[in-house]
């Protein structure tokens, strides 16, 4: 089961002896466990580390580890790395190993270690050492540390577990991987679990068990890899490829494939990319005929294996081959079976009435090997290649099983249909959806005479172009305003482009919550907050 958009907890001896079964029964599906803190002495091992690991494994709860840093020198940072590695020896977590970098009790400040040089050095030593030891590193931190104490290359180069106890996460970069959304203070679902007590709660954005096991991290390699691959795991792995360019100087896919030069990469990369993906997931055997770099051969190999399906039979997890020209294919015998030509392939993520959401390479990234998520028309589908997944494949009607906010889900669908965006439809209001709404705002302002770059960045030019909206306003800009408000959990009395008393009430509520001028008028200040917070 994927951990994407699943809730979990983080625990230490500070929580006392707790029931993992009760945590699991309450709907929390993973745990980050403190292993220790400070330099490498046994008195600074977490006293419940071993017990909490055993409890998670007995309950079938995926777990990761975190280590609290007190390092105030290079020597102490290296001792902390040795400490963590000692505690991890012989264990195989299925979530990352995180460095907890904060100064919650003021120790760093009191001992002269709370400065940019020391904190950056401690992070670099620990995270690099964890990676070199074969573990999957992660950085746990917050706004103060990122803005003032940790070098940008460290922040940008690692998955981030971000602490922000709020209704929505203020850190919106693509490497946000786990959000600690509450502890003693929790604005979402309360600060405790029945029978467990007050506990820190988290939301995960990546399917770490699949990533870590298939990637050979944390001791998971060889015979330890999963024996099968589900459609959900394949889709999670494909999403995880977005923004992950291993070698920006080369085409990772064709470098792996071999035998092609850069002149061919642009046309071969999409098909080879699907093979590359399944190889990364440890299941290239699910591609009949092995790795291949042209879509016609891919379709033919799946046909011979009895795994080629018509467009009407599409399911999430299928490798979907598109035909932009709609010409008849020349690949025999598929030409006589009515298939259109095979020009591009991506993996289907979700199926809707007229479109699908898909992900693949060579479809608009900076390089041809960059994986991107796209919205595609179902009318352009020539064929569907269905790997033999361990679970037989995903359900045919996944849209009925969305777990995110239904209102946000509807706004995401509207953005894709109305503006041709490629927002991932998951019902979760994150950076991608917020950026798309800002682009929609810029698009509508341009239709009113502005000359803005539609880049999703609310800068000075966008601010200057914003029009005031108030009770009685109507039109496309009101739709955008309502969409922003709905995604922030407010009721607007409908999504209808009409600024009525309910929309005014939502604006007043939002302005008060964000410390803005409370006047019910959505102008530059209100739109700026909506677009940036």
pLDDT digits (tens, 9 = 90+) for 83-134: 999 999 999 999 999 999 999 999 999 999 999 999 999 999 999 999 999 9
Q: Of the ranges 117-121, 228-232, 373-377, 424-428, which one carries the lowest mean pLDDT score?
A: 424-428
Dist. CA 309–CA 320, nearest whole Å: 10
List b or e across 385-412, with b for residues whose CB sees 16 or more CB atoms inside 10 angstroms. bbbebbeebbeeebeeebeebebbbebb
Summarize pLDDT for 268-306 with one digit per residue, the tens: 688 989 998 998 888 899 999 888 888 999 999 999 998
CATH fold of 231-399, please? endopeptidase fold (from Nostoc punctiforme) (3.90.1720)
Structure-token match 């959304």, residue found: 181
Dihedral angle, C-alpha 515, 516, 522, 528, nearest 10 °: -90
- Residue 408 has a pLDDT of 86
State the pLDDT at residue 174. 80
Cα distance between residue 314 and residue 324, in whole Å: 18
Phi, psi of 140 (to 5 degrees): -100, 125
What's residue 199's pLDDT? 96
What's the rounded Cα separation, in Å, for the pair 15 and 362? 48
| HEC secondary structure over 86-118 | HHHCCCCCCCCEEEECCCCCCHHHHCCCCCHHH
Q: How far apart are CA 186 and CA 212, in angstroms?
A: 30
- Let me know: does 205 contact 178? Beta carbons within 8 Å: yes
Residue 327's alpha-carbon distances to 47, 310, 379, 382, in angstroms, are 67, 16, 13, 10
Chain CA centroid to CA 255, Å: 26
382 neighbors 341 (Cβ within 8 angstroms): yes
- How far apart CA 283 and CA 287 sit, in angstroms, is 8
Classify 160 as helix, strand or coil.
Answer: strand
**Structure-block tokens of residue 251:** 């085409």
Higher pLDDT, 352 or 107: 107
Model pLDDT, residue 514: 86
pLDDT in tens, 140-162: 999 999 999 999 989 988 999 99
pLDDT value at position 364? 64
Rounded Cα gap, residues 415 and 411, in angstroms:
6
Percent of the chain with pLDDT over 90: 61
Lowest mean pLDDT among 297-301, 364-368, 439-443: 364-368
**Torsion 162-167-170-175 (CA) sign:** positive
Residues 84, 88, 92, 94, CA torsion sign: negative
Rounded Cα gap, residues 506 and 518, in angstroms: 11
- Residue 189 structure tokens: 């679902």
Superfamily of domain 6-223: Glycosidases (3.20.20.80)
Q: Are 254 and 264 in contact (CB under 8 A)?
A: yes
Helices (H), 361-451: 406-419, 431-447
Q: What per-residue confidence (pLDDT) applies to 228? A: 72
pLDDT: which is higher, 47 or 408: 47
pLDDT at 378: 93
Integer-rounded Cα radius of gyration of the chain:
25
All CATH 3.20.20.80 domain ranges of the chain, comma separated, are 6-223
- The percent of residues in the chain predicted with pLDDT above 70, rounded, is 92
The answer, yes or no, to whether residue 28 has pLDDT greater than 70, is: yes
pLDDT band at residue 397 using 50, 70 and 90 as cut-offs: very low
Quote the CA–CA distance of 434 and 530 in Å, as a whole number.
Answer: 8
Q: What is the third-level CATH fold of 403-532? A: Muramoyl-pentapeptide Carboxypeptidase; domain 1 (1.10.101)
End-to-end CA distance of the chain: 32
Among 161, 207, 170, residue whose Cα is nearest residue 65: 161
Q: What is the pLDDT of residue 446?
A: 94
Beta strands in 438-513 (DSSP E): none
**Burial (Cβ within 10 Å: 0-12, 13-18, ≥19) of residue 221:** middle
Q: Checking DSSP bridges between strand 176-182 and strand 159-163, what pairing results, if any?
A: parallel
Rounded distance between C-alpha atoms, residue 49 and residue 69, angstroms: 16
Predicted confidence band at 396 (pLDDT cuts at 50, 70, 90)? very low
Residue 403 pLDDT? 45
**Cβ neighbours around 289 below 10 Å, total:** 13
- Dihedral of alpha carbons 321, 326, 330, 333, sign: positive
CA 396 to chain centre: 23
The whole-number average pLDDT for the span 326-340 is 93
Mean pLDDT of 224-237: 72
Q: How confident is the model at residue 489 (pLDDT cuts 50, 70, 90)?
A: confident
- Cα(461)–Cα(453) distance, integer angstroms: 9
DSSP three-state, residue 75: helix
Mean pLDDT of the chain: 88
Whether 246 shows a pLDDT value over 80: the answer reads: no
Query: How far, in Å, are 350, 399, 425, 426, 427 from residue 402 at the CA level?
Result: 10, 6, 9, 7, 7
| Angle of the 431-447 helix axis to the 524-532 helix axis, nearest 10 | 150
Rounded mean pLDDT, 228-233: 82
Region(s) of the chain under CATH 1.10.101.10: 403-532
The torsion of the CA quartet 468, 474, 477, 481, rounded to 10 degrees, works out to: 80
- Give me the phi and psi of 324, to 5 degrees please: -75, -35
Picking from 63, 40, 46, the residue whose alpha carbon sits closest to that of residue 129 is 40
pLDDT of residue 480: 95
Identify the band that residue 68 occupies on the pLDDT scale cut at 50, 70 and 90: very high
Beta-sheet strand order (sheet of 381-385): 308-309, 381-385, 319-322, 344-351, 355-360, 372-377
As a whole number of angstroms, the distance between CA 273 and CA 265 comes to 10
């Amino acid at each position: 089961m994927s951990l994407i958009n699943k809730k979990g907890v983080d625990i230490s001896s500070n929580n006392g002896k707790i029931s993992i079964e009760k945590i699991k029964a309450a709907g929390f599906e993973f745990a980050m466990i403190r292993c220790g803190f400070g330099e490498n002495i046994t008195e600074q091992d977490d006293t419940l580390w071993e017990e909490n690991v055993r409890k998670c494994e007995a309950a079938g709860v995926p777990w990761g580890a975190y280590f609290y840093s007190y390092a105030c020198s290079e020597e102490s940072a290296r001792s902390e790395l040795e400490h963590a590695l000692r505690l991890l020896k012989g264990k195989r977590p299925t979530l990352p190993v995180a460095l907890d970098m904060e100064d919650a009790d003021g120790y760093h400040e009191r001992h002269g270690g709370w400065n940019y040089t020391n904190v950056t050095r401690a992070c670099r030593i620990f995270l690099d050492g964890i990676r070199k030891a074969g573990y999957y590193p992660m950085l746990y931190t917050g706004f103060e540390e990122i803005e003032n104490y940790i070098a940008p290359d460290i922040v940008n180069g690692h998955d981030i577990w971000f602490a922000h106890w709020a209704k929505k996460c203020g850190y919106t970069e693509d490497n946000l991987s786990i959000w600690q959304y509450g502890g003693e203070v929790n604005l979402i679902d309360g600060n405790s679990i029945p029978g467990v007590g007050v506990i820190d709660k988290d939301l995960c954005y990546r399917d770490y068990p699949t990533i870590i096991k298939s990637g050979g991290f944390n001791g998971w390699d060889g015979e330890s890899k999963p024996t099968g691959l589900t459609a959900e795991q394949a889709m999670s792995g494909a999403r995880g490829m977005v923004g992950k360019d291993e070698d920006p100087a080369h085409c990772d896919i064709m470098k792996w494939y071999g035998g092609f030069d850069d002149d061919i990469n642009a046309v071969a990369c999409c098909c080879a990319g699907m093979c590359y993906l399944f190889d990364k997931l440890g299941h290239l055997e699910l591609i009949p005929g092995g790795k291949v770099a042209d879509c016609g051969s891919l379709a033919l190999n799946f046909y011979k294996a009895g795994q080629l399906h018509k467009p009407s039979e599409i399911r999430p997890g299928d490798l979907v081959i598109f035909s932009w020209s709609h010409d008849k294919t020349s690949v025999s015998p598929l030409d006589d079976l009515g298939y259109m030509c095979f020009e591009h392939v991506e993996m289907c993520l979700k199926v809707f009435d007229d479109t699908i959401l898909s992900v693949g390479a060579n479809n608009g990234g900076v390089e041809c090997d960059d994986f991107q998520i796209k919205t595609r028309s179902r009318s352009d589908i020539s064929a569907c290649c269905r790997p033999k997944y361990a679970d037989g494949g995903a359900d045919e009607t996944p849209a009925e099983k969305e777990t995110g906010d239904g209102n946000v889900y509807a706004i995401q669908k509207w953005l894709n249909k109305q503006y041709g965006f490629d927002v991932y439809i998951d019902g979760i209001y994150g950076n991608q959806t917020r950026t798309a709404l800002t682009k929609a705002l810029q698009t509508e302002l341009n239709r009113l005479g502005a000359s803005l770059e539609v880049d999703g960045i609310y800068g000075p030019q966008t601010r200057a172009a914003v029009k005031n909206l108030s009770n009685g306003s109507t039109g496309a800009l009101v739709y955008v305003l309502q969409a922003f408000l709905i995604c922030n959990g407010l009721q607007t009395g409908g999504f209808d482009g009409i600024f009525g008393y309910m929309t005014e009430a939502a604006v007043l509520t939002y302005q008060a919550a964000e410390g803005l001028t409370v006047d019910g008028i959505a102008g530059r200040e209100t739109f700026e907050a909506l677009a940036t917070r």
